[in-house]
Amino acid sequence: MGYKFLEKVKTPNDLKKLNNNDLIELSAEIRDYMIKTVSKNGGHLSSNLGVVELSVAIHKVFDSPNDKIVWDVGHQVYAHKLITGRYESFTTLRKENGISGFCAPNESEHDTFYSGHSSTSISAALGIAEANKKLGKNDYTIAVIGDGALTGGLAYEALNNAGRSGTKLIVILNDNEMSISENVGSMARYLAIVRSKPGYNIFKAKTEETLNKIPLIGSPIAHCVSYVKTRIKNLMYKSTFFEDLGFNYMGPIDGHSIEHLCEALSSAKLSDEPVLLHISTTKGKGYDFAEKAPSIYHGVSNFNVDSGECNSSSTNFSEEFGKTLCELAEKDKRICAITAAMSLGTGLKEFSEKYNDRFFDVGIAEQHAVTFASGLSKGGMIPVFPVYSTFLQRAYDQLVHDGTLQKQKLIIGVDRAGFVGEDGVTHQGMLDVSYLNSIPGITVYSPFTYDNLRFDLKHAVYNSDNLTAIRYPRGCEIELPKNYKISENDFDYFENDKKVLIISYGRISVNVMNAVDILKSQGLNVSLLVLNKIKPISKEVVNIALDYSHVFFYEETIKSGSIGESFADLLFSEGFNRRYYHIAVPDEFIPHASVVSLMKKYKFDTESIVENILEKCNG
């Protein structure tokens, strides 16, 4: 590549030897390498481009891994990875057996916490800081959190506990939605820079110490000076929220000035109370296409660096869900849509434009979204909340207590259900079946064609009286074999013989169909039953399975608590005493790899299905 500085940074200590101009050039090299790599591998681009200087400054000032850095969400750690010894492996980003696109403690001692979900950094960092305090360590703990993540309630719970903890905690608020607002003005910006300089805080501390030593009048003068300073500052900044919580607030600071960032971070180290450093950055900084459209380049597949053109399919399940919802909303003004800061990713962009008065972006607050939806339902609306499977996990309590227990009509679109591929361990949609299956009174559909997705959504809107979840995979529908047609019924039964029955649902049903055809060509006539509604399971499905000597149940989810386990219980309670095989994901977390590779690894590909059934039936 021929990078002057980046190739030589093997550890953060190498970075500490560089001067300010060198660090500016290093930042440019990081951006260049980052863009080239993500253009080939896909990944999170805008958020990572926005924190290059911040990442450099943090590692310049602090001593990782002794000082712990906790990155919120973790989709902004590419520069951090490059600085902490992963330059040579960076080309494997998000590839199977390569480095993760998120923080991964098993990958590096510099990655403190797994962080694929939002608003967790301050809580985790406070815990580490408290542990350091109790164990007598003088190490610092730094939490880096974006303004978007501050829409999540967990962040405020942590702030409430952290402010007066007396720990060496530094919270960096990365504000990338706006520049420093106009009402702050030039003088306020200047004062923000001055207040962030180490010399300012040293002078302030020594002045207060000197005043307090003067008999009788020293302490009142110090108190008066502090009061006047606070009043002036409040007039300038018009906000004391973080200071009211007990933080020493610094900022706003230009998040792309390494000099100012280093000064501010060095100053924060001198504080005897938790610090909140407010910085302002530009999402997508340094790549024109990402700066102009940061949402589009938030998470991208591979793309052309010169044109910015992304290589993505024309339609997908998320878009089909949103399109159908728009069609229903045009005829029914009760229908409204909710997103947890994911309108583009969950297919709600068109809805937000056409029916803005019925569209609610609640921020990164899945728990609130579900309970809010329950309130909308109570008031007579029909709320629809599409959300990624991995993020719906956070709202389990609300699904139970505020959804089904209340018998409210809610519709949850469970997007990215099943394997999601390269986003990896924190994003795989492996748990929704099990936790939804545990909730009494809920209805769950698992369509894998666009037609069934549309039908299930319409059915949920007009024929369901309680919470309904519709789970669908990431990406596009897979073309069905020509001899199969999926109906709008709860299940489809393709009878061939009364010896072997395969039951499946969701995306892997296509692989099962292809396997059935191959098995037929080899002389084994296998029957197939494809579920559309997976909870509750129809009694008729159990009765069909009772006639078979070999029953195979395939599902692309974790085995514990799954539909296959529930079905086995129903089947054996009816006296089934023959062979039942349940093929699902074992009790483990799924690393990043392509969906195709994961299908093969967990024996869901067509070839593995054929081999398994032939072995069990001919053995």
Q: Which residues are catalytic?
A: 283, 366, 394
Tokens representing 79 are 């520069």
Tokens representing 108 are 């590096």
The 3 state secondary structure assigned to 429-457 is ECCHHHHHHCCCCCEEECCCCHHHHHHHH
Cα(334)–Cα(461) distance, integer angstroms: 10
Cα(379)–Cα(373) distance, integer angstroms: 10
Beta-carbon-side half-sphere exposure of residue 147 (alpha carbons within 13 Å): 14
DSSP, residue by residue, 211-250: HHHSTTTHHHHHHHHHHHHHHHHHHHH---HHHHTT-EEE
Cα(377)–Cα(383) distance, integer angstroms: 6
Cα(412)–Cα(442) distance, integer angstroms: 11
Tokens representing 278 are 């407010």
Tokens representing 551 are 């029953």
Write the CB contacts of 538 (distance below 8 Å, at least 6 apart in sequence): 490, 491
Burial of 464 (0-12, 13-18, 19+ CB in 10 A): middle
The neighbouring-strand residues paired with 385 are 412
Cα(170)–Cα(72) distance, integer angstroms: 13
Q: Collapse the DSSP code of 210 into the 3-class scheme (helix H, G, I; strand E, B; otherwise coil) and give the result.
A: helix
Write the CB contacts of 177 (distance below 8 Å, at least 6 apart in sequence): 147, 148, 283
The neighbouring-strand residues paired with 175 are 280
